[in-house]
């Protein structure tokens, strides 16, 4: 019974966090001048990673972000599924949910992975010039997302029942 309850909780968290990532990506869009946009989807990925477990954050990052790409950036959706899924998974594995230092390391490593993943994809899709131009924009997105996601996760970890965090 306990394993079934845990499975239901984990699937529910994946669904809820995927929806929050999709909403944070799709609804909050600030054009960046390069044909893309800034959003708070990465902040939601970091909240999932620093609060729950790597599976929740990996699924939420990949699925939620890819869903948000479908309406206007469908060509990015498959790459986003992998890149943002890996971002959530790495941040979730690196954090220990006890140390802000580890949280910062987690979002930094995951963020660099996201930047590098999109760089590689955009070199293939758009060419090296535009891919290089996207690096500072992606870095700014990660920085803002970390400044939002880490404090939110700290509050949630203090207030959330243990059963949701494992």
Structural domains for the chain: 2-161 (1.10.1760.20)
Range 79-86 contact pairs with CB under 8 angstroms and sequence separation of 24 or more: 79/117, 79/118, 79/121, 82/117, 83/113, 83/114, 83/117, 83/118, 83/121, 84/21, 84/41, 84/42, 84/45, 84/114, 85/58, 85/59, 85/61, 86/58, 86/61, 86/62, 86/110, 86/113, 86/114, 86/117
pTM of the model: 0.94
Confidence of residue 160 (pLDDT cuts 50, 70, 90): confident
pLDDT of residue 30: 85
**Average pLDDT of the segment spanning 104-122:** 98
Average pLDDT over residues 37-62: 95
Q: Region 107-117: what's the mean pLDDT? A: 98
pLDDT tier at 165, thresholds 50, 70, 90: low
Q: Which residues contact 150 (CB under 8 A, 6 or more apart)?
A: 46, 50, 100, 103, 104, 107
97 vs 32, residue with greater confidence: 97
143 pLDDT band, cuts 50/70/90, is very high
- pLDDT bin (cut points 50, 70, 90) of residue 1 is low
Return the CA Rg of the chain.
Answer: 15
């Amino acid at each position: 019974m306990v394993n079934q309850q845990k499975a239901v909780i984990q699937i529910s968290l994946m669904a809820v966090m995927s929806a929050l990532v999709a909403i944070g990506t799709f609804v909050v869009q600030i054009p960046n001048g390069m044909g893309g946009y800034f959003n708070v989807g990465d902040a939601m990925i970091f909240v999932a990673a620093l609060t729950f477990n790597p599976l929740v954050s990996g699924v939420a990052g990949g699925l939620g972000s890819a869903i948000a790409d479908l309406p206007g950036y469908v060509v990015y959706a498959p790459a986003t599924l992998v890149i943002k899924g890996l971002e959530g998974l790495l941040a979730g594995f690196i954090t220990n949910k006890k140390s802000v230092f580890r949280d910062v390391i987690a979002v930094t490593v995951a963020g660099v992975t996201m930047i590098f993943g999109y760089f590689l994809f955009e070199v293939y899709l758009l060419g090296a010039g535009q891919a290089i131009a996207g690096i500072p924009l992606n870095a700014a997105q990660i920085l803002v997302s970390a400044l939002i996601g880490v404090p939110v996760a700290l509050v949630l970890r203090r207030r959330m029942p243990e059963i949701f965090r494992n």
